[in-house]
């Protein structure tokens, strides 16, 4: 038996169409949803991400402004840009593209974004709202995973979800979202002992490691749902964290590309629309 490939592109398309419709209706009321993206430096992957976000905004009718700052930009200059976007009433969503160049203090910049414009959901105030069960803006990747699970009617309540990776951006918010939907949640990471034994218990296995082919078939319970959050570049190709062989063991699997990544952008649009509303 081969896994059902979860078509993130198709599910995201439905979301994007819905968002475009709502955006149109909001514009007819005189409000144009507006996302401001701050991009520092020349990181090639970041350039691609920002371009994709821009294009998705344009397609949905959401106004998008990209503020490009030099690689050598000072902390002060970056913070001034964020402050001015906070004050700008025409801007509903602010996103600072990560990673920042090493000389810049990422967490200080994120803390400066107005929590009510924080469409990436990385501000401590939004993390805490999620953790305390009163979410406002939720990080786009784990939110997209939840919507993908919903779209395929994958049961979550009472199921055992194992998350490999504990980042602020994916692993920890993913855990909180699955927990809120009544999953039993295990968070694993680089220090975890007996990872295969634990992963093999998962009804839902989320890989957010950043290592190509990290999740092998022996780590997957037959029939499990495997969510591949990895985006790794290997010889110019994009591959996930899950080895191709897992398609023979899993019940459901997200492809890379065409899986979670597509949902991330759709959720960014959804958060921006939400901020404008």
Residues 94 and 114: their CA atoms lie apart, in Å, by 8
Q: How far is the CB of 99 from a second copy (least distance, A)?
A: 16
* 208 part of the interface to a second copy, by CB under 8 A: no
Q: Which of 30, 157, 234, 235 binds a second copy (CB under 8 A)?
A: 157
CB contact at 8 A, 45 and 191: no
Among 99, 101, 114, 43, which residue's Cα sits nearest to residue 75?
Answer: 101
Q: Which of residues 52-111 bind a second copy (CB under 8 A)?
A: 107
Q: How far is the CB of 203 from a second copy (least distance, A)?
A: 9
* 271 part of the interface to a second copy, by CB under 8 A: no
The pair of structure tokens assigned to 157 is 């309540």
* 221 part of the interface to a second copy, by CB under 8 A: no
Based on CB atoms, which residue is closest to a second copy, 142 or 259? Answer: 142
Based on CB atoms, which residue is closest to a second copy, 15 or 122? Answer: 122
CA torsion, ordered 113, 114, 116, 117, to nearest 10 deg: -50
Burial 36-62 (b: 16+ CB within 10 A, else e): bbbbbbebeebeebbeebbebbeebbb
Give the contacts of 51 (CB within 8 A, at least 6 positions apart): none
Based on CB atoms, which residue is closest to a second copy, 30 or 133? Answer: 133
Q: Which of 18, 166, 200, 211 binds a second copy (CB under 8 A)?
A: 166
13 noted as active-site residue: no
Handedness of CA 205, 211, 212, 217 (dihedral sign): negative
- Residues 53, 117, 159, 172: which is the catalytic one? 53
Q: How far is the CB of 56 from a second copy (least distance, A)?
A: 26
120 noted as active-site residue: yes
Radius of gyration (Cα) for the chain, nearest Å? 19
Q: Which of 168, 210, 213, 258 binds a second copy (CB under 8 A)?
A: 168
* 219 part of the interface to a second copy, by CB under 8 A: no
Residue in this structure with the two tokens 């993390």, named with its chain if needed: 127
Residues 9 and 258: their CA atoms lie apart, in Å, by 5
Q: How many CB atoms lie within 10 A of CB 277?
A: 12
* 48 part of the interface to a second copy, by CB under 8 A: no
CB contact at 8 A, 132 and 142: no
Based on CB atoms, which residue is closest to a second copy, 9 or 189? Answer: 189
Q: Which of 71, 182, 218, 277 binds a second copy (CB under 8 A)?
A: 182
String of contacts with a second copy for each residue 122-151, x by CB under 8 A: xxxxxxxxxxxxx-----------------
CA 59 to chain centre: 19
- Residues 117, 118, 120, 228: which is the catalytic one? 120
Q: How far is the CB of 187 from a second copy (least distance, A)?
A: 5
193 noted as active-site residue: no
- Residues 16, 97, 117, 262: which is the catalytic one? 97
Cis ω for the linkage preceding 113 (within 30 of 0):
no
Residues 70 and 78: their CA atoms lie apart, in Å, by 10
Binding footprint of a second copy on the chain (CB under 8 A): 107, 122-134, 157-160, 166, 168, 172, 175-176, 179, 182, 184-189, 191-193, 198
Give catalytic residue positions: 53, 97, 120
């Amino acid at each position: 038996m081969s896994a059902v490939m979860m078509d993130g592109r198709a599910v995201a398309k439905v979301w994007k169409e819905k968002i475009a419709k709502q955006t149109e209706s909001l514009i007819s009321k005189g409000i144009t949803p507006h996302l401001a993206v701050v991009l520092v430096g020349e990181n090639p992957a970041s350039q691609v991400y920002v371009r994709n976000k821009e294009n998705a905004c344009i397609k949905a009718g959401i106004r998008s402004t990209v503020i490009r700052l030099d690689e050598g930009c000072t902390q002060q200059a970056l913070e001034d840009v964020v402050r001015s976007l906070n004050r700008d009433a025409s801007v509903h969503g602010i996103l600072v593209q990560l990673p920042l160049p090493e000389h810049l203090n990422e967490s200080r910049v994120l803390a400066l974004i107005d929590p009510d414009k924080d469409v990436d959901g990385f501000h401590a105030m939004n993390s805490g709202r999620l953790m305390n069960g009163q979410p406002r803006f939720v990080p786009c990747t784990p939110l997209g995973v939840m919507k993908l699970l919903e779209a395929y009617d994958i049961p979550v309540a009472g199921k055992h979800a194992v998350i490999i990776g504990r980042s602020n951006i994916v692993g920890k918010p993913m855990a909180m979202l699955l927990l809120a939907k009544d999953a039993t949640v295990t968070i694993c990471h680089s220090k975890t002992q007996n990872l295969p034994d634990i992963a093999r218990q998962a009804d839902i296995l989320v890989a957010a490691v950043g290592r190509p082919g990290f999740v092998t078939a022996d780590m997957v319970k037959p029939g499990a749902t495997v969510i591949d959050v990895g985006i790794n570049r290997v010889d110019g190709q994009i591959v996930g964290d899950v080895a191709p062989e897992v398609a023979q063991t899993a019940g459901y699997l997200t492809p890379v590309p065409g899986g979670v990544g597509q949902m991330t952008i759709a959720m960014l649009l959804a958060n921006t629309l939400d901020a404008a509303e």
